[in-house]
Amino acid sequence: MNSYMVIGIAVIAVILILRFFVCKFFYRCKLLNDILQEQGQDKIYRYSQGRIYLLLSIICYYITLGIMTSKGLKPNISIDTKTLDIIIEALQWSIAIFCGYVFGGKGLEVLKAVMEMKKGKTQEPQQ
């Protein structure tokens, strides 16, 4: 298990180094940085803590789903699926909490509108 940790840390380090060099030349990384930043009261753009946590939660969620997929494709891998199910459920709650924090009242209004559409309610006044 320790060799997997070392390999994982090495892969993450290589990805971060590549990201540093790639982001200097490509527009998409600038777009991602713009999404993760918000304007403060002093008109300076800073990284939003909630947006960073949301991004990390989503990345961890997809990594865990990838592990579950590999377990489904190769059933002889010794991975406990019950533990991964608990992790996935916890990540879903954390994503919901961070979305509520980041999007605030806007997210709640959208959620309310979607739920009303599913129930068949309309915004038009009834006669």
Per the rule left: phi > 0, alpha: psi between -120 and 50, beta: everything else, 31 is: alpha
Residue 38, strand partner residues: 46
pLDDT above 60 for 123: no
Task: State mean pLDDT over 16-27.
Answer: 71
Per DSSP bridges, beta strands 37-39 and 45-47 are antiparallel
d(CA 60, CA 88): 9
- CA angle 98/56/16 to nearest 5° reads 155
Q: Name the residue ranges covered by the structural domains of the chain.
A: 48-119
Looking at residue 16, what DSSP letter applies? H
Tens-place pLDDT, residues 28-44 = 677 777 778 888 888 88
pTM of the model as a whole = 0.59
The pair of structure tokens assigned to 31 is: 């777009």
